[in-house]
Structure 1
Amino acid sequence: MPTLLQLTSLRPEIQSVLDSQFTVHHYAKLPDAAAWVTAHGAEVDAVATGGGNGIPTALMVALPNLKIVAINGVGFDKVDLEAARAQGVRVTNTPDVLTDDVADLAVGLTIGIMRRLHHAHRFVTAGHWPTKDWGLARKVSGKRFGILGMGRIGQAVARRLSGFDGTISYTDVAAKDVPYHFVPDLVQLAAGSDVLVVCAAASTATRAIVNGPVLDALGPEGALVNIARGSIVDEVALVAALQSGALGAAALDVFVDEPNVPAALLGMENVLLTPHIASATTETRRAMGMLMLDNLSSFFAGRPLPTPVV
Protein backbone atom coordinates (compact mmCIF):
# COMPACT_ATOMS: atom_id res chain seq x y z
CA MET A 1 0.00 0.00 0.00
CA PRO A 2 1.14 3.59 -0.58
CA THR A 3 2.48 5.44 2.44
CA LEU A 4 0.61 8.55 3.53
CA LEU A 5 1.60 11.25 5.99
CA GLN A 6 -1.49 12.76 7.63
CA LEU A 7 -1.37 16.39 8.79
CA THR A 8 -5.00 16.90 9.78
CA SER A 9 -7.76 15.18 11.73
CA LEU A 10 -10.59 13.49 9.88
CA ARG A 11 -14.02 12.14 10.68
CA PRO A 12 -13.92 8.48 11.88
CA GLU A 13 -15.62 7.08 8.80
CA ILE A 14 -13.17 8.91 6.52
CA GLN A 15 -10.21 7.89 8.67
CA SER A 16 -11.31 4.26 8.47
CA VAL A 17 -11.28 4.30 4.66
CA LEU A 18 -7.96 6.10 4.57
CA ASP A 19 -6.43 3.54 6.94
CA SER A 20 -7.67 0.71 4.74
CA GLN A 21 -6.09 2.13 1.59
CA PHE A 22 -2.79 3.54 2.89
CA THR A 23 -0.10 2.98 5.46
CA VAL A 24 -0.90 6.07 7.48
CA HIS A 25 1.47 7.98 9.73
CA HIS A 26 -0.02 10.81 11.82
CA TYR A 27 2.50 13.64 11.82
CA ALA A 28 1.25 15.14 15.09
CA LYS A 29 1.54 11.79 16.87
CA LEU A 30 5.13 11.07 15.88
CA PRO A 31 7.41 11.23 18.96
CA ASP A 32 10.07 13.08 16.97
CA ALA A 33 8.57 14.22 13.66
CA ALA A 34 11.80 15.72 12.32
CA ALA A 35 13.75 12.55 12.99
CA TRP A 36 11.01 10.42 11.46
CA VAL A 37 11.00 12.51 8.29
CA THR A 38 14.77 12.24 8.02
CA ALA A 39 14.59 8.46 8.37
CA HIS A 40 11.40 7.73 6.44
CA GLY A 41 10.61 10.80 4.31
CA ALA A 42 11.59 9.00 1.10
CA GLU A 43 8.88 6.40 1.77
CA VAL A 44 6.01 8.92 1.72
CA ASP A 45 3.86 8.84 -1.41
CA ALA A 46 1.00 11.09 -0.31
CA VAL A 47 0.03 13.75 2.19
CA ALA A 48 -3.48 14.36 3.51
CA THR A 49 -3.90 17.79 5.04
CA GLY A 50 -6.42 20.53 5.74
CA GLY A 51 -6.80 23.94 4.20
CA GLY A 52 -5.71 25.58 7.41
CA ASN A 53 -2.69 23.29 7.77
CA GLY A 54 -1.40 22.97 4.24
CA ILE A 55 2.12 21.65 4.15
CA PRO A 56 5.31 23.59 4.95
CA THR A 57 7.51 23.84 1.91
CA ALA A 58 10.48 22.46 3.86
CA LEU A 59 8.48 19.37 4.72
CA MET A 60 7.36 18.88 1.14
CA VAL A 61 10.98 19.09 -0.04
CA ALA A 62 11.97 16.58 2.65
CA LEU A 63 9.61 14.05 1.04
CA PRO A 64 11.48 13.43 -2.23
CA ASN A 65 9.07 10.80 -3.56
CA LEU A 66 5.90 12.66 -2.64
CA LYS A 67 3.37 12.39 -5.44
CA ILE A 68 0.20 14.09 -4.21
CA VAL A 69 -1.01 16.51 -1.52
CA ALA A 70 -4.74 16.02 -0.94
CA ILE A 71 -6.34 18.95 0.91
CA ASN A 72 -9.46 18.32 2.95
CA GLY A 73 -10.72 21.86 2.36
CA VAL A 74 -11.10 24.46 -0.35
CA GLY A 75 -8.20 26.75 0.55
CA PHE A 76 -4.75 25.98 -0.83
CA ASP A 77 -2.93 29.13 0.29
CA LYS A 78 -0.88 27.12 2.80
CA VAL A 79 0.67 25.04 -0.01
CA ASP A 80 3.51 26.42 -2.13
CA LEU A 81 2.10 25.57 -5.55
CA GLU A 82 5.25 26.59 -7.42
CA ALA A 83 7.32 24.30 -5.22
CA ALA A 84 4.79 21.52 -5.80
CA ARG A 85 5.01 21.97 -9.57
CA ALA A 86 8.81 22.00 -9.43
CA GLN A 87 8.77 18.76 -7.44
CA GLY A 88 6.14 17.15 -9.68
CA VAL A 89 3.60 16.95 -6.85
CA ARG A 90 -0.10 17.04 -7.65
CA VAL A 91 -2.35 19.09 -5.35
CA THR A 92 -6.09 18.65 -4.90
CA ASN A 93 -8.75 20.32 -2.78
CA THR A 94 -12.46 19.90 -2.05
CA PRO A 95 -14.38 22.80 -3.63
CA ASP A 96 -18.16 23.11 -4.06
CA VAL A 97 -19.13 20.64 -1.33
CA LEU A 98 -18.61 23.27 1.38
CA THR A 99 -20.00 26.28 -0.51
CA ASP A 100 -23.47 26.13 1.01
CA ASP A 101 -22.26 25.85 4.58
CA VAL A 102 -19.79 28.70 4.23
CA ALA A 103 -22.43 30.91 2.62
CA ASP A 104 -24.95 29.97 5.31
CA LEU A 105 -22.51 31.01 8.03
CA ALA A 106 -21.77 34.30 6.26
CA VAL A 107 -25.47 35.15 6.40
CA GLY A 108 -25.73 33.86 9.97
CA LEU A 109 -22.84 36.07 11.07
CA THR A 110 -24.37 39.02 9.23
CA ILE A 111 -27.64 38.59 11.09
CA GLY A 112 -25.82 37.85 14.32
CA ILE A 113 -23.67 40.98 14.33
CA MET A 114 -26.39 43.32 13.07
CA ARG A 115 -28.99 42.04 15.55
CA ARG A 116 -26.37 41.63 18.34
CA LEU A 117 -27.42 38.05 19.00
CA HIS A 118 -24.25 37.23 20.92
CA HIS A 119 -24.89 40.16 23.26
CA ALA A 120 -28.56 39.23 23.61
CA HIS A 121 -27.61 35.67 24.60
CA ARG A 122 -25.26 36.90 27.31
CA PHE A 123 -27.87 39.43 28.47
CA VAL A 124 -30.38 36.62 29.11
CA THR A 125 -27.94 34.09 30.59
CA ALA A 126 -26.52 36.72 32.96
CA GLY A 127 -30.02 37.28 34.36
CA HIS A 128 -30.27 40.91 33.25
CA TRP A 129 -33.61 40.65 31.42
CA PRO A 130 -35.88 41.19 34.46
CA THR A 131 -34.07 44.35 35.59
CA LYS A 132 -32.33 46.00 32.64
CA ASP A 133 -33.15 47.34 29.18
CA TRP A 134 -31.30 45.44 26.49
CA GLY A 135 -31.42 48.30 24.00
CA LEU A 136 -31.72 48.15 20.22
CA ALA A 137 -29.89 46.50 17.34
CA ARG A 138 -29.66 47.19 13.60
CA LYS A 139 -32.05 46.03 10.90
CA VAL A 140 -30.71 43.57 8.33
CA SER A 141 -33.35 43.86 5.62
CA GLY A 142 -32.89 46.62 3.10
CA LYS A 143 -29.17 47.07 3.73
CA ARG A 144 -26.44 47.66 1.17
CA PHE A 145 -24.36 44.47 0.99
CA GLY A 146 -20.88 44.47 -0.49
CA ILE A 147 -19.05 41.25 -1.35
CA LEU A 148 -15.31 40.96 -1.81
CA GLY A 149 -14.80 38.01 -4.17
CA MET A 150 -17.57 36.82 -6.45
CA GLY A 151 -16.47 33.19 -6.85
CA ARG A 152 -18.49 30.14 -5.88
CA ILE A 153 -18.90 31.20 -2.26
CA GLY A 154 -19.41 34.87 -3.05
CA GLN A 155 -22.20 34.02 -5.47
CA ALA A 156 -23.82 31.70 -2.93
CA VAL A 157 -23.69 34.46 -0.31
CA ALA A 158 -25.19 36.94 -2.79
CA ARG A 159 -28.08 34.60 -3.61
CA ARG A 160 -28.90 34.27 0.07
CA LEU A 161 -28.58 37.98 0.78
CA SER A 162 -30.87 38.80 -2.14
CA GLY A 163 -33.74 37.64 0.06
CA PHE A 164 -33.18 40.61 2.38
CA ASP A 165 -34.46 43.13 -0.17
CA GLY A 166 -31.34 45.26 -0.10
CA THR A 167 -28.76 46.00 -2.78
CA ILE A 168 -25.81 43.77 -3.60
CA SER A 169 -22.54 45.02 -5.04
CA TYR A 170 -19.21 43.28 -5.40
CA THR A 171 -15.61 43.62 -6.41
CA ASP A 172 -13.29 41.07 -7.99
CA VAL A 173 -10.38 41.05 -10.42
CA ALA A 174 -12.95 41.55 -13.19
CA ALA A 175 -16.69 41.79 -13.62
CA LYS A 176 -18.57 38.48 -13.57
CA ASP A 177 -21.71 37.38 -15.40
CA VAL A 178 -23.88 37.85 -12.32
CA PRO A 179 -26.92 40.06 -11.64
CA TYR A 180 -25.11 42.26 -9.12
CA HIS A 181 -23.41 45.64 -9.40
CA PHE A 182 -19.68 45.46 -10.09
CA VAL A 183 -17.48 48.02 -8.32
CA PRO A 184 -13.84 47.87 -9.48
CA ASP A 185 -12.38 49.55 -6.38
CA LEU A 186 -12.57 47.96 -2.91
CA VAL A 187 -12.55 51.26 -1.04
CA GLN A 188 -15.41 52.47 -3.23
CA LEU A 189 -17.29 49.23 -2.57
CA ALA A 190 -16.83 49.61 1.18
CA ALA A 191 -17.97 53.24 1.09
CA GLY A 192 -21.22 52.15 -0.56
CA SER A 193 -21.87 49.20 1.79
CA ASP A 194 -23.47 48.75 5.18
CA VAL A 195 -22.06 45.23 5.42
CA LEU A 196 -18.90 44.05 3.67
CA VAL A 197 -18.59 40.26 3.38
CA VAL A 198 -15.12 38.86 2.62
CA CYS A 199 -15.34 35.85 0.31
CA ALA A 200 -12.07 36.16 -1.62
CA ALA A 201 -9.40 33.49 -1.86
CA ALA A 202 -6.20 34.07 0.09
CA SER A 203 -3.17 34.90 -2.04
CA THR A 204 -0.28 37.33 -2.14
CA ALA A 205 -2.56 39.70 -4.06
CA THR A 206 -5.26 39.66 -1.37
CA ARG A 207 -3.02 39.71 1.72
CA ALA A 208 -4.25 42.48 4.07
CA ILE A 209 -6.29 43.96 1.22
CA VAL A 210 -9.00 44.88 3.72
CA ASN A 211 -6.86 47.60 5.29
CA GLY A 212 -7.32 50.87 7.15
CA PRO A 213 -8.69 52.87 4.21
CA VAL A 214 -11.21 50.13 3.44
CA LEU A 215 -12.37 49.95 7.07
CA ASP A 216 -12.59 53.75 7.27
CA ALA A 217 -14.71 53.75 4.13
CA LEU A 218 -17.03 51.13 5.61
CA GLY A 219 -17.43 53.51 8.51
CA PRO A 220 -18.75 53.74 12.07
CA GLU A 221 -22.13 52.31 11.07
CA GLY A 222 -20.65 49.56 8.92
CA ALA A 223 -19.97 45.89 9.67
CA LEU A 224 -17.27 43.58 8.36
CA VAL A 225 -17.97 39.84 7.98
CA ASN A 226 -15.07 37.50 7.17
CA ILE A 227 -15.60 33.82 6.34
CA ALA A 228 -12.67 33.58 3.89
CA ARG A 229 -9.15 33.75 5.35
CA GLY A 230 -7.74 35.84 8.16
CA SER A 231 -4.80 36.98 6.05
CA ILE A 232 -7.10 39.01 3.80
CA VAL A 233 -7.80 41.46 6.63
CA ASP A 234 -5.17 43.68 8.24
CA GLU A 235 -5.89 42.61 11.83
CA VAL A 236 -3.91 45.47 13.39
CA ALA A 237 -5.93 47.99 11.38
CA LEU A 238 -9.14 46.12 12.20
CA VAL A 239 -8.53 46.22 15.95
CA ALA A 240 -7.66 49.92 15.75
CA ALA A 241 -10.79 50.72 13.74
CA LEU A 242 -13.05 48.85 16.15
CA GLN A 243 -11.42 50.44 19.19
CA SER A 244 -11.66 53.96 17.80
CA GLY A 245 -15.18 53.57 16.46
CA ALA A 246 -14.04 54.09 12.87
CA LEU A 247 -15.67 50.72 12.14
CA GLY A 248 -19.00 49.82 13.68
CA ALA A 249 -18.75 46.04 14.09
CA ALA A 250 -17.12 42.85 12.86
CA ALA A 251 -18.10 39.19 12.68
CA LEU A 252 -15.11 36.92 12.13
CA ASP A 253 -14.76 33.19 11.55
CA VAL A 254 -11.11 33.34 10.47
CA PHE A 255 -7.95 34.93 11.83
CA VAL A 256 -4.34 35.50 10.80
CA ASP A 257 -2.72 33.24 13.39
CA GLU A 258 -5.30 30.58 14.18
CA PRO A 259 -6.20 29.49 16.79
CA ASN A 260 -4.73 32.63 18.34
CA VAL A 261 -7.16 35.54 18.28
CA PRO A 262 -5.97 39.08 19.04
CA ALA A 263 -6.69 39.64 22.74
CA ALA A 264 -8.18 43.05 22.04
CA LEU A 265 -11.05 41.45 20.11
CA LEU A 266 -12.12 39.15 22.92
CA GLY A 267 -13.82 41.70 25.12
CA MET A 268 -15.51 43.84 22.47
CA GLU A 269 -19.30 43.96 22.45
CA ASN A 270 -19.32 44.92 18.77
CA VAL A 271 -17.43 41.80 17.72
CA LEU A 272 -18.84 38.32 17.03
CA LEU A 273 -16.23 35.56 16.90
CA THR A 274 -16.46 31.92 15.77
CA PRO A 275 -13.60 29.34 15.65
CA HIS A 276 -13.26 28.77 11.87
CA ILE A 277 -16.45 26.70 11.67
CA ALA A 278 -17.75 27.68 8.23
CA SER A 279 -17.62 24.12 6.87
CA ALA A 280 -18.10 22.45 10.25
CA THR A 281 -21.27 20.45 9.75
CA THR A 282 -21.57 16.68 9.80
CA GLU A 283 -22.85 16.56 6.24
CA THR A 284 -20.22 18.80 4.72
CA ARG A 285 -17.21 17.40 6.56
CA ARG A 286 -18.27 13.92 5.40
CA ALA A 287 -18.61 15.14 1.80
CA MET A 288 -15.24 16.90 1.98
CA GLY A 289 -13.57 13.77 3.30
CA MET A 290 -15.12 11.60 0.61
CA LEU A 291 -13.94 13.97 -2.12
CA MET A 292 -10.44 14.00 -0.65
CA LEU A 293 -10.48 10.18 -0.68
CA ASP A 294 -11.75 10.21 -4.27
CA ASN A 295 -8.82 12.40 -5.31
CA LEU A 296 -6.35 10.08 -3.61
CA SER A 297 -7.83 6.85 -4.96
CA SER A 298 -8.14 8.34 -8.46
CA PHE A 299 -4.49 9.36 -8.47
CA PHE A 300 -3.16 5.96 -7.43
CA ALA A 301 -5.53 4.20 -9.83
CA GLY A 302 -4.33 6.35 -12.72
CA ARG A 303 -7.69 8.08 -13.20
CA PRO A 304 -8.18 11.82 -13.78
CA LEU A 305 -8.26 13.81 -10.56
CA PRO A 306 -11.79 15.00 -9.67
CA THR A 307 -10.71 18.39 -8.31
CA PRO A 308 -7.08 19.21 -9.13
CA VAL A 309 -5.38 22.45 -8.14
CA VAL A 310 -2.08 21.62 -9.88
Structure 2
Amino acid sequence: MADKEPQQPEVLPIVLVHRLPSFKIPSDSSFRDQLRSQFHMLDPHESPEPYDSFLARHAPFIRVLMTIGYSPISAEFLERLPVLELIVATSAGLNHIDLPACWSRGIVVTNVSLAFAEDVSDCAVGLLIDVLRRISAADRFVRGRLWPVKENYPL
Protein backbone atom coordinates (compact mmCIF):
# COMPACT_ATOMS: atom_id res chain seq x y z
CA MET A 1 0.00 0.00 0.00
CA ALA A 2 1.45 3.33 -1.07
CA ASP A 3 2.02 5.95 1.56
CA LYS A 4 0.44 9.31 0.95
CA GLU A 5 2.88 12.14 0.53
CA PRO A 6 2.94 14.45 3.52
CA GLN A 7 0.86 17.53 2.90
CA GLN A 8 1.98 20.99 3.76
CA PRO A 9 -0.19 22.61 6.43
CA GLU A 10 -2.65 25.17 5.10
CA VAL A 11 -1.14 28.63 4.99
CA LEU A 12 -3.65 31.35 5.75
CA PRO A 13 -3.66 34.46 3.54
CA ILE A 14 -1.92 37.45 5.13
CA VAL A 15 -4.05 40.54 5.79
CA LEU A 16 -2.65 43.80 7.14
CA VAL A 17 -4.99 45.56 9.56
CA HIS A 18 -4.79 49.32 8.99
CA ARG A 19 -6.37 51.35 11.76
CA LEU A 20 -5.74 54.36 13.92
CA PRO A 21 -3.99 53.40 17.18
CA SER A 22 -6.92 54.82 19.15
CA PHE A 23 -9.37 52.46 17.44
CA LYS A 24 -9.28 49.26 19.47
CA ILE A 25 -10.77 45.95 18.38
CA PRO A 26 -12.10 44.16 21.47
CA SER A 27 -10.12 40.99 22.16
CA ASP A 28 -13.35 39.04 22.69
CA SER A 29 -14.81 40.25 19.40
CA SER A 30 -16.50 37.63 17.21
CA PHE A 31 -15.44 39.82 14.27
CA ARG A 32 -11.80 39.29 15.23
CA ASP A 33 -12.29 35.56 15.83
CA GLN A 34 -13.96 35.01 12.46
CA LEU A 35 -11.19 36.85 10.65
CA ARG A 36 -8.43 35.02 12.48
CA SER A 37 -9.94 31.66 11.65
CA GLN A 38 -9.58 32.38 7.93
CA PHE A 39 -6.68 34.85 7.66
CA HIS A 40 -3.33 35.56 9.23
CA MET A 41 -4.08 39.03 10.58
CA LEU A 42 -1.14 41.41 10.96
CA ASP A 43 -1.92 44.37 13.20
CA PRO A 44 1.08 46.66 13.68
CA HIS A 45 -0.54 48.21 16.75
CA GLU A 46 -0.55 44.84 18.52
CA SER A 47 3.18 44.40 17.99
CA PRO A 48 5.92 45.74 20.27
CA GLU A 49 7.90 46.49 17.11
CA PRO A 50 7.78 50.12 15.87
CA TYR A 51 5.14 50.65 13.18
CA ASP A 52 7.56 51.56 10.37
CA SER A 53 9.87 48.60 10.92
CA PHE A 54 6.89 46.24 11.30
CA LEU A 55 5.49 47.46 7.99
CA ALA A 56 8.87 47.29 6.23
CA ARG A 57 9.42 43.71 7.43
CA HIS A 58 6.00 42.45 6.29
CA ALA A 59 5.40 44.66 3.22
CA PRO A 60 6.81 42.19 0.65
CA PHE A 61 4.12 39.66 1.63
CA ILE A 62 1.04 41.88 2.09
CA ARG A 63 -1.43 41.46 -0.76
CA VAL A 64 -4.57 42.42 1.21
CA LEU A 65 -5.14 45.44 3.44
CA MET A 66 -8.18 45.82 5.67
CA THR A 67 -8.95 49.32 6.90
CA ILE A 68 -10.93 49.75 10.07
CA GLY A 69 -12.52 53.15 10.54
CA TYR A 70 -11.19 56.13 8.66
CA SER A 71 -7.45 55.40 8.70
CA PRO A 72 -6.02 57.42 5.81
CA ILE A 73 -4.46 55.54 2.90
CA SER A 74 -2.33 57.86 0.81
CA ALA A 75 -0.30 57.25 -2.34
CA GLU A 76 2.83 57.43 -0.18
CA PHE A 77 1.49 54.72 2.13
CA LEU A 78 0.59 52.53 -0.86
CA GLU A 79 4.16 52.83 -2.18
CA ARG A 80 5.31 51.02 0.96
CA LEU A 81 3.23 47.96 -0.02
CA PRO A 82 4.68 46.80 -3.36
CA VAL A 83 2.52 43.68 -3.89
CA LEU A 84 -0.78 45.02 -2.54
CA GLU A 85 -3.75 43.85 -4.65
CA LEU A 86 -6.85 44.48 -2.54
CA ILE A 87 -8.08 47.02 0.01
CA VAL A 88 -11.15 46.11 2.04
CA ALA A 89 -12.71 49.07 3.85
CA THR A 90 -14.98 48.46 6.82
CA SER A 91 -16.14 52.07 6.87
CA ALA A 92 -19.23 53.56 5.24
CA GLY A 93 -17.22 55.57 2.73
CA LEU A 94 -13.98 55.47 0.79
CA ASN A 95 -12.99 59.14 0.99
CA HIS A 96 -10.02 58.32 3.23
CA ILE A 97 -8.44 56.19 0.48
CA ASP A 98 -6.47 57.67 -2.42
CA LEU A 99 -8.55 55.93 -5.09
CA PRO A 100 -6.65 57.33 -8.13
CA ALA A 101 -3.41 55.95 -6.66
CA CYS A 102 -5.10 52.56 -6.16
CA TRP A 103 -6.50 52.53 -9.68
CA SER A 104 -3.14 53.44 -11.22
CA ARG A 105 -1.59 50.42 -9.50
CA GLY A 106 -4.50 48.09 -10.28
CA ILE A 107 -5.42 47.74 -6.60
CA VAL A 108 -9.04 46.69 -6.12
CA VAL A 109 -10.90 48.67 -3.44
CA THR A 110 -14.08 47.31 -1.88
CA ASN A 111 -16.34 48.17 1.01
CA VAL A 112 -17.96 45.75 3.44
CA SER A 113 -19.53 48.14 5.90
CA LEU A 114 -22.71 47.20 7.70
CA ALA A 115 -23.50 50.87 8.32
CA PHE A 116 -26.41 50.90 5.91
CA ALA A 117 -27.46 47.24 6.04
CA GLU A 118 -30.74 47.94 7.85
CA ASP A 119 -31.59 50.85 5.54
CA VAL A 120 -30.83 48.74 2.47
CA SER A 121 -33.02 45.89 3.70
CA ASP A 122 -35.86 48.35 4.47
CA CYS A 123 -35.57 49.77 0.97
CA ALA A 124 -35.51 46.28 -0.58
CA VAL A 125 -38.70 45.27 1.25
CA GLY A 126 -40.33 48.55 0.20
CA LEU A 127 -39.39 47.99 -3.43
CA LEU A 128 -40.68 44.42 -3.27
CA ILE A 129 -44.04 45.62 -1.95
CA ASP A 130 -44.08 48.27 -4.69
CA VAL A 131 -43.51 45.66 -7.40
CA LEU A 132 -45.96 43.10 -5.99
CA ARG A 133 -48.73 45.65 -5.44
CA ARG A 134 -47.83 47.71 -8.53
CA ILE A 135 -47.91 50.95 -6.51
CA SER A 136 -45.57 52.97 -8.76
CA ALA A 137 -47.25 51.67 -11.90
CA ALA A 138 -50.68 52.60 -10.54
CA ASP A 139 -49.38 56.04 -9.56
CA ARG A 140 -48.11 56.66 -13.10
CA PHE A 141 -51.40 55.36 -14.49
CA VAL A 142 -53.48 57.79 -12.39
CA ARG A 143 -51.15 60.77 -12.94
CA GLY A 144 -51.24 60.09 -16.68
CA ARG A 145 -55.07 60.37 -16.54
CA LEU A 146 -55.42 56.90 -18.06
CA TRP A 147 -57.97 55.58 -15.54
CA PRO A 148 -61.08 56.54 -17.52
CA VAL A 149 -59.54 55.24 -20.75
CA LYS A 150 -57.89 51.89 -19.92
CA GLU A 151 -59.44 50.87 -16.59
CA ASN A 152 -56.41 48.71 -15.66
CA TYR A 153 -56.59 49.50 -11.95
CA PRO A 154 -60.17 48.97 -10.72
CA LEU A 155 -61.06 49.91 -7.14
User: Do these two structures clear the TM 0.5 threshold for a shared fold by scoring above it?
Assistant: yes
Matches within 5 A, 1:86-165: 86-94=104-112, 97-99=114-116
Q: For the structure 1 residues 100 and 37, does the alpha-carbon distance in structure 2 shift closer, same or farther, using more than 3 Å as the test?
A: closer
Matches within 5 A, 1:1-310: 1-8=12-19, 9-10=24-25, 12-30=29-47, 31-94=49-112, 97-99=114-116
**Which one-letter code corresponds to 1:40 in the other structure?**
H
Check whether the contact 1:2–1:22 (CA below 8 A) recurs between aligned residues. Answer: yes
Distance 1:99 1:86 in 2: 29
Structure 2 unaligned segments of length 5 or more: list them.
Answer: 1-11, 124-155
**Structure 2 match to 1:177:** none
Structure 1 unaligned segments of length 5 or more: list them.
Answer: 104-151, 157-310
| 2:41 alignment partner, SS class | strand
Check whether the contact 2:44–2:54 (CA below 8 A) recurs between aligned residues. Answer: no
**Which one-letter code corresponds to 1:47 in the other structure?**
L
Distance 2:110 2:69 in 1: 11
1:70 to partner: Cα distance: 0.6
| Larger radius of gyration between Structure 1 and Structure 2 | 2
Distance 2:60 2:54 in 1: 10
Aligned length: 103
Distance 1:79 1:56 in 2: 6
**Which one-letter code corresponds to 1:4 in the other structure?**
V
**Which one-letter code corresponds to 2:65 in the other structure?**
V
| 2:97 alignment partner, SS class | coil
Distance 1:37 1:100 in 2: 33
Distance 2:100 2:74 in 1: 13
> TM-score if structure 1 supplies the norm length?
0.30
What do residues 1-52 of structure 1 show as CA deviations (whole Å, max 9, x unaligned)?
Answer: 2111112344611111111111111122232111122222011111111241
1:100 to partner: Cα distance: 7.0
| 2:57 alignment partner, SS class | helix
**Which one-letter code corresponds to 2:60 in the other structure?**
A
Distance 1:6 1:54 in 2: 12
Check whether the contact 1:51–1:75 (CA below 8 A) recurs between aligned residues. Answer: no
1:91 to partner: Cα distance: 0.8
| 1:20 alignment partner, SS class | helix
Distance 1:72 1:15 in 2: 13
| 1:7 alignment partner, SS class | strand
Distance 2:104 2:117 in 1: 34
**Which one-letter code corresponds to 2:111 in the other structure?**
N
Check whether the contact 1:51–1:77 (CA below 8 A) recurs between aligned residues. Answer: no
What CA RMSD, in Å, does the superposition of the two structures yield over aligned residues?
Answer: 2.4
Which portions of structure 1, spanning 4 or more consecutive aligned residues, are displaced by more than 3 angstroms? 8-11
